[in-house]
Structure 1
Amino acid sequence: MADHKPLSSKLPHALTLPPKWLSLYGNFITTHQSSVTQIESALRSLTYIIPGRFRDAELASESLHSSIQLLSMYHDTLLTRAISKLPGMPKHQSPHNRYTKFWIQKSKFYRRVATLLSIVQYTELLWEMTAKRKGERIRWRVVVVLEVVKAICRLFLLKITNLRPLVTPALPEREVIAEEEPVPEIEDEEAQLEAELEGRSPSPQRKEYRMKRTGLSLPDIPNPGDISSYLLSKVLTADDIKAPSALLNKVSGSAQLAEVLHIIQPVVYAIAMSRSRDKKDWQPWLLGLSIEYAARQLRKDGLRTTPLEKEQWNKRGWAMGWWAMRGAFYENVTKGFLHSTSQRLPGLISGVLDDYLYLWDGYYFSTSSN
């Protein structure tokens, strides 16, 4: 007779399988980063090309897009952990990543709040689409609740970082891990020997030299015509040696008020839009834009900006361009221009633009920049 093991003896083994699978999956992602990134980009581009081509499948399209974004965020977490285990510091680490990694390592609460904020941002349009099927009233309730949740997360981040300006995104961005490639020493020697026999000069080979005793590798010799760029890449700047927390200055006075206004502005605008019965009413649009403009004016003289602050300042400036796609300005100005332009474009381009017009006409979060 076959030996049947009791169910209780199989449970411990079954419980160890998911961690093993996750570990194998994590190793695959870290060792095939370039391939995974290409696949993510291809899938993300596909969802951009057909955002609403099938009106009844808008939920499926947005679900796919949100799933890709959430999966990419998980991959970023795996790659960040892998980089943290590498010996030494990454050669080129952006100030944004240095700053966000510092707070993630220092505060578990920052990591949880930043993760929640990112998840809400990636899924907010999907929530709005789902709520709209139950009526406009439910839809606007969901929109306001999501804006309130994001505002609370940002206020927590402002508090955790000791009143330092918010950064976008709140989590570190993906960094490149150098994938190991075998050094074709035999092939290189054969190629050089063949070139000598044919009487031509062998092509220069850039090989990695690995020391036998220590196992450490020496860097490649730079191109003689590009010595300056090579040396500049090895020079440390002031921001490279500055403490991560010092990459952003603390806000105080009018700058602190400006940061709070920037955080609560989407909530005020969403509430005003939910109470407005006419899409062409200018009052909500003027109210939201006025708060955002006041925040920018108050903050201008409130800080001695660092490079990271200038970068975030420029992002917020470009984000203000989305006000041309919102509320009364879109309904009274932009919408007519885009619809008339769509009729004059070739069929394929016109079809893609019409899909986006379908989203811009009917959904609040399709033009949200916060």
Structure 2
Amino acid sequence: MSLLRSYDAFLFANASQITAVESSLRSLAFFLPGRFKDAELTAEALSASLNILGLYHDSILYRLVSSGSSPASSSSSPGLDSSSPARLAYTPSPHARYTTHFADSSPAYNLCARALVLVGYTELLAEMLARRRGGRKRAWDVVVGIEGVKVALRLALLRLTKMRPTIQPPIPEREVDPALLEDLPASGTASPTQWRGARTGLSRPTLASLKAPPATPASGIAGPTRARLAAGSRSGRSAASEFDSDSDSDDTLVESLTEKDVNDYLLSKTLKPADVRSPTELVRPVSSREGLLAEGIWIARPFAYALALRKYGRKALLPFFLSLLLELLARTLRQRSLALASGPRTNPLLLALSGGNPLLGLVTAFLGGAPTNQAVSDVEAAEWKRRGRAFWWYLLRGPAWDGWTKPKLEGLARATENRTLLGIVGGIVRDHIPLVDEYHFYSAT
């Protein structure tokens, strides 16, 4: 525990440097394949290690932000004091609110979610090690086993969230610049300028902070507007004379703002519907047989695809089209279930009373209403977009990869191999093509 506290204190004091090191090593792992023997294994081991270490860093940073304590001032837990008030002005995103709610309220959810993330970080490394030690057959056994574990974990998350679709990633992401933590005081005193809601967890300015004089003439203005003012957009004078002149005043700076600047600033302070919703309302539970079947097919599809690949091989057409058909079926059923659950159908009487077209209302009612599958929050919208983008991965699979994508990428590598800068990109593409051919998890979702 003492070692963990020391490491947490070191992270707190050098957060920005550690983030830079993480980014540099991840870039190095991307360039390693093809450079020497077993370079891809080294690169993947480095990438998996960095991802796991980053996951630990994220948990520390999240607890620091939520508790407001510094590792050096805590002794009850490894580097943190969960009873300390918040000191960093931070409003979590809807995704962070949703995943944090279930992670904090359900230890089982937290365990399953983190296990699912860890499996995703290490699955390709496990496949590579199995291929080297046991051959192709052993590697496919490992692939099927990993996909089976992922199915079990996703089904567990589906049940633990009371039949809500699985969100990726199922744990909070890093949303605060770690460099900001270096400027926090070591004491555990609370900031007098921020108030945190007990139910929503949102941070808001206190009355004392609103009465306090601004630190700079334009401190209450958003960043882009403040930068524009500093550049002297109102007149031809330099930025220095704009602020150094004794004749300039706060009234002069305010007058330079346009109506759009004021509206943008006010809108940035306006609460959205998702801001006042409870975390459980950010993702709707599955409420129909179509929705439940769609989620089940989506969860089971990677496992069925891996089973078909192990039996028929990567060159066979059946695994490719089976996976594509299941994914399309899951998408269609999900859209139908969301449309049916989007709310009450249009009432022609209400349309007439509200000034709508009664005839159009009668036609709408006769046709069964006009439900939509619009997402209720940014969390849902991001998840549906992510699942929609997953169809692009089929360009790296089966006949699409062998017959179209791979020849195109090989042609790109040949065309750029003698170019100064483009040759670097072509070399990276050429070194990664054999990895897509060899390993399942390079193109798996």
Specify the TM-score bucket, using the shorter chain as the normaliser: 0.7 to 0.9
1:316 aligns with 2:315: no
> Which residue matches 1:57?
39
> Which residue matches 1:365?
441
1:253-292, Cα deviation, whole Å (9 max, x unpaired): 2011101100000000000000014x33211000001001
Shift of 1:46: 1.4
**Contact 1:110/1:157 (CA < 8 Å) preserved in 2?**
yes
Q: Which amino acid aligns with 1:70?
A: I
CA spacing shift, 1:70–1:321, aligned 2, 3 Å: same
Structure 2 gap ranges (5+): 69-84, 186-190, 194-207, 222-253, 343-374, 418-422
Supply the distance in 1 between the matched residues of 2:296 and 2:35 (Cα, whole angstroms): 39
Matches within 5 A, 1:320-339: 320-339=391-410
Q: Which amino acid aligns with 1:128?
A: E
CA spacing shift, 1:182–1:294, aligned 2, 3 Å: closer
- Stretch moving more, 76-85 or 48-57: 48-57
1:264 aligns with 2:279: no
Matches within 5 A, 1:121-132: 121-132=120-131
Q: Which amino acid aligns with 1:249?
A: R
**Contact 1:52/1:61 (CA < 8 Å) preserved in 2?**
no
Q: Which amino acid aligns with 2:285?
A: K
**Contact 1:52/1:359 (CA < 8 Å) preserved in 2?**
no
> Which residue matches 1:306?
376
Supply the distance in 2 between the matched residues of 1:269 and 1:329 (Cα, whole angstroms): 15
Matches within 5 A, 1:123-272: 123-133=122-132, 134-176=134-176, 178-179=180-181, 181=183, 218=212, 220=215, 221-223=219-221, 224=254, 225=257, 226-251=261-286, 252-272=288-308
Shift of 1:317: 0.9
TM-score, normalization by structure 2:
0.68
Matches within 5 A, 1:27-106: 27-86=9-68, 87=85, 91-106=90-105
Q: Which amino acid aligns with 1:333?
A: W
Shift of 1:84: 1.5
- Stretch moving more, 316-325 or 49-58: 49-58
**Contact 1:342/1:354 (CA < 8 Å) preserved in 2?**
yes
> Which residue matches 2:420?
none
SS of 2:174's partner is coil
* Higher RCO (CA < 8 A, seq sep 6+): 1
**Contact 2:302/2:323 (CA < 8 Å) preserved in 1?**
yes
CA spacing shift, 1:322–1:182, aligned 2, 3 Å: closer
TM-score, normalization by structure 1:
0.81
> Which residue matches 2:203?
none
Q: Which amino acid aligns with 1:222?
A: G
1:107 aligns with 2:106: yes
Shift of 1:310: 1.2
1:54-97, Cα deviation, whole Å (9 max, x unpaired): 24232222111100000000101111111120345854321111
Shift of 1:141: 0.3
Shift of 1:233: 2.5
Shift of 1:181: 4.0
CA spacing shift, 1:113–1:181, aligned 2, 3 Å: closer
- Stretch moving more, 319-328 or 225-234: 225-234
Supply the distance in 2 between the matched residues of 1:244 and 1:118 (Cα, whole angstroms): 21
**Contact 2:290/2:337 (CA < 8 Å) preserved in 1?**
yes
Larger proportion of helix: 1
Shift of 1:209: 11
Supply the distance in 2 between the matched residues of 1:106 and 1:51 (Cα, whole angstroms): 42
CA spacing shift, 1:103–1:336, aligned 2, 3 Å: same
**Contact 2:126/2:142 (CA < 8 Å) preserved in 1?**
yes
**Contact 1:50/1:355 (CA < 8 Å) preserved in 2?**
no
Task: State percent identity of aligned pairs.
Answer: 38
CA spacing shift, 1:90–1:242, aligned 2, 3 Å: farther
Supply the distance in 1 between the matched residues of 2:94 and 2:44 (Cα, whole angstroms): 32
Supply the distance in 1 between the matched residues of 2:44 and 2:147 (Cα, whole angstroms): 19
Structure 1 gap ranges (5+): 1-18, 184-207, 211-215
1:106-154, Cα deviation, whole Å (9 max, x unpaired): 0000011111111110000100001111211001000000000011000
SS of 1:174's partner is coil
Supply the distance in 1 between the matched residues of 2:406 and 2:333 (Cα, whole angstroms): 32
Report the RMSD for the aligned CA atoms in angstroms: 2.4
> Which residue matches 1:8?
none
Supply the distance in 1 between the matched residues of 2:413 and 2:391 (Cα, whole angstroms): 24
**Contact 1:322/1:367 (CA < 8 Å) preserved in 2?**
yes
